[in-house]
Amino acid sequence: MFHLRTCAAKLRPLTASQTVKTFSQNRPAAARTFQQIRCYSAPVAAEPFLSGTSSNYVEEMYCAWLENPKSVHKSWDIFFRNTNAGAPPGTAYQSPLPLSRGSLAAVAHAQSLVEAQPNVDKLVEDHLAVQSLIRAYQIRGHHVAQLDPLGILDADLDSSVPADIISSTDKLGFYGLDESDLDKVFHLPTTTFIGGQESALPLREIIRRLEMAYCQHIGVEFMFINDLEQCQWIRQKFETPGIMQFTNEEKRTLLARLVRSTRFEEFLQRKWSSEKRFGLEGCEVLIPALKTIIDKSSENGVDYVIMGMPHRGRLNVLANVIRKELEQIFCQFDSKLEAVCGAQAWPTHPSWAQAAPGAHRVCV
């Protein structure tokens, strides 16, 4: 209430004597003349009923309005609502409506001022809810990624429900949204790239693009990284629309590399089923992934790559990435082939350097 009194004191119009006094104080010193001086006071924006004598009455009305807005007259209700909403001086008060045709327009204007603040609050809350929803997909989207094509991780296979069939009503209700908000357009934060060249999208499209980025057959867990630049790089590589689209030539290359990896494992399984091979079954996509990394590194000026390999997948990487001769690999399984393979030396080439112990050096 002290704030309201201060505002009332500041908004009270200046009297003539105060204006003349202020004018005389701010006027620079000059020689005395006998010309008549006229002083004009500019009108100050203020409410017509605010004065020192009405402060007690306004305070009582304000306290009553805080307890129950319906306990005061509608005009007081509008005035206090507009004042709390930050209406500039001279606009918070709405005069009583005249009995004319313009009354409807005045009512609409007053109603818009009263409802402006609640609408702004709801808009801000909805945008914050959408930002929280986007961050939830980035943090926990890998938990609902479709990484189990056979569904064997579900205890009850008959009642298993895929993640994409779950109703969106519960998902939206947790963030204070409902189905009526799905067609509303929301501005996207700077921590997401799902918009591409667009800065705003409907909520339905936002959810669809987030599910395409984080809830498909690749699970991405990266929000624990403290480096903002690294997080932004991962977001851009997974969220940008169309970034996972490949040309027909790229698809053929990936398929050929995946077939070589798979056939190599099948051949070793059929010929030497009882030997320790440390096979790559179930992870054959490692070969096209490594080949792609080497190709991109070569395009960016990398001269050579040094890889430290675990046991699992070592033979497949030697055969299909480093391109070691298959005869030398097979000699390790069959002692009868040692005589034939012993006469053959490792293919010498200027681009092949000696590998460090426990690592394979690949020239690109």
Q: Does residue 215 sit in the same domain as residue 273?
A: no
Range of the domain at 191: 118-237
- Is 200 contained in some domain? yes
Q: Does residue 267 sit in the same domain as residue 320?
A: yes
Distance from C-alpha of 168 to C-alpha of 181, rounded to nearest angstrom: 12
Domain count for the chain: 3
Q: What is the CA 63 to chain-centroid distance, rounded? A: 43
Q: Does residue 256 sit in the same domain as residue 218?
A: no
Task: Tally the C-alpha atoms within 13 A of residue 180's C-alpha that lie toward its C-beta.
Answer: 2
Q: Does residue 228 sit in the same domain as residue 252?
A: no
Q: Does residue 192 sit in the same domain as residue 232?
A: yes
Structural domain ending residue among the three candidates 217, 237, 257 = 237
Percent of the chain with pLDDT over 70: 64
Q: Does residue 305 sit in the same domain as residue 350?
A: yes
Structural domain ending residue among the three candidates 63, 83, 103 = 83
- Is 38 contained in some domain? no
Q: Tens of pLDDT along 286-301?
A: 999 999 999 999 999 9
- Is 34 contained in some domain? no
Q: Does residue 253 sit in the same domain as residue 281?
A: yes
Q: Does residue 293 sit in the same domain as residue 271?
A: yes
Q: Does residue 357 sit in the same domain as residue 266?
A: yes
Q: Alpha-carbon torsion 22, 27, 28, 31, what sign?
A: negative
Whether the model pTM is above 0.85: no
Distance from C-alpha of 80 to C-alpha of 172, rounded to nearest angstrom: 35
- Is 196 contained in some domain? yes
Length of the chain: 364
Q: Does residue 136 sit in the same domain as residue 194?
A: yes
Q: Tens of pLDDT along 54-95?
A: 778 888 888 888 888 888 887 788 888 887 777 776 666 666
- Is 206 contained in some domain? yes
